[in-house]
Structure 1
Amino acid sequence: MMNEAQAEAAEPSVEKTAPSVALESMGLMLLRRFLRNRAGTAALVLLLILVVTALAAPWISPQNPYDLAQVSVMEAERAPGAQSDTGAITFVLGTDGAGRDMFSAILYGLRISLGIGVISALAALAVGTTVGLVAAYFGGKVDAFLMRVVDVQLSIPTILVALVLLAVLGQGVDKTLMALILVQWAIFARTVRGAAIVERRKDYIEAAMGQGLSPRRIMFRHVLPNCMAPLIVTATNQMANAISLEATISFLGIGLPQTQPSLGLLISNGFDYILSNEYWISMFPGIALVILVVSISVVGDQLRVVLNPKNDI
């Protein structure tokens, strides 16, 4: 029986000699298939615009809405299109109750919402993928135990788990990220486990085991790459779900602090002004949140169609 070092040296050279040209060609084919759908293309373009504007917020926003030197309470609750007292800024989307430019606040809020959604989804993906691969590879009691934990996690509403965790942990970006990771990892574990079980029964896995490769190498170098299609789709959808969940808990006042407001907290800040006919304080962040979540969801749905092996490319 060969040891792992010898097995690695003698491992079939498929992955080492697979022509990169074929992979690039497959990538182009998938991209062309994705772009055939007008709704998916429009959502992708819109999402890219939102990401770019969010990243460039410090450079393109008229003011830093959280720099007290740039904000005046005397300019609070200005209607869309109003001018600042100095005439230096046009409040395109108006101002909120603290005198902050709503356009600038939305751009900064987009940065936080996107950052939390992406980071929490990727971290949950890492945890859930590891759990799912271990369950599928070892099976038996290990699989039964891990899947019962996943079942318990998925049986409890995510909003309830997040509320309880944040009530215990308190407010903050790090605590919100921790709560979102804890409510998402089980979804990735279930997804990966289902795909990995199918791969685990194939001949190339038996061959890799016969060569003496370690379980870690088999799981992450052989099984995982063949589970990426459902993982990518799930990760995209979970980003949208994480952004929506964070907006919900921030709207309820237990998510992010006022010094780091996301779109959900901006909506909450303007909720008290709706009955005063100052609709823009809450409505425009709400529109931005809907556009962000819908665009990510449409992109994820189109990725599901493109990456489905049953569909002709």
Structure 2
Amino acid sequence: MTSVAEYRVHGSTPNPAPEEWGPFEWDEPRLGRQVAGEMTVFRPHGTSGSLQAGFWRTGPTAPGANPDGSHTIVYSSPLGDETAVVLEGSATVTVNATGEKHELVPGSVLSHPKGVELTWEVRAPYFKKYWVIWDGTDVNPAAPTEVTVVNHNDNPQEWAEYHFIEPAEGPQVAGELFFIREGGSTGTHLSGVWRSGKGIAGSDTDPDGTLRTPYTGVLGDETILLLEGEVEVRETESGRVTNYRAGDLIGLNSGQHITWTSKGPFTKKLWVITKDRLPE
């Protein structure tokens, strides 16, 4: 049985302390051991599969960077599919097998399938991204192979009301969402943007746009970058209450009952849901 401590909600501000950063080292299949920039991890695990999330940055003093802070990196995301969000700086990413190029600026969301080799040309003087890396054991026969880039500041027409069934409370309506990614290399791997607020659907929404939602993450672990607004998360079993604001990271465990309160007038988040089992 999972303990209360193991079910504790993960959280981080967008500015981890200096001592929390360390060199990013990994084994690149074609090139061997690599060191590039600095990373920090706020979510070291989930309830299934291999799930990690945190920040990565580079600049003039970062390992492997040029004196002006620019950086060239070959990276194939060998540890799993990566969802990355550019927070500061800009870069050009090239798919080495095809020559396809993508321009990354603040707000860009990069979906990088495991094993697809990219060359990153990071521009001076500084670059910072949020990342979620996921790998599972249940291989998806229709695994994606293409790199995609969108921007979370876009306002697509395909917003849809979020309807789901909460095991203890029954059918719920909680805000609106759209999908960025609906499948990965392994297991369940979904990502998208969600919003709530005045005039947006919700089973328990106040006139000022505040929305309260019971939630146990029935689809899997959820890893969140809060884009706008403020949120309170109340953990039902422990009674612990944590407040988050735009820029913060939140990690929810599948099966842990919480009450999610999005404060009015508006809240928006980027979410990644993962589970070591293919969607039914």
Q: TM-score range by the shorter chain?
A: under 0.3
> Relative contact order, CA 8 A, sep 6+: which one is greater?
1
Greater fraction strand: 2
The TM-score, its normalising length taken from structure 2, stands at 0.23
Structure of greater Rg: 1
Name whichever structure is richer in helix by fraction.
Answer: 1
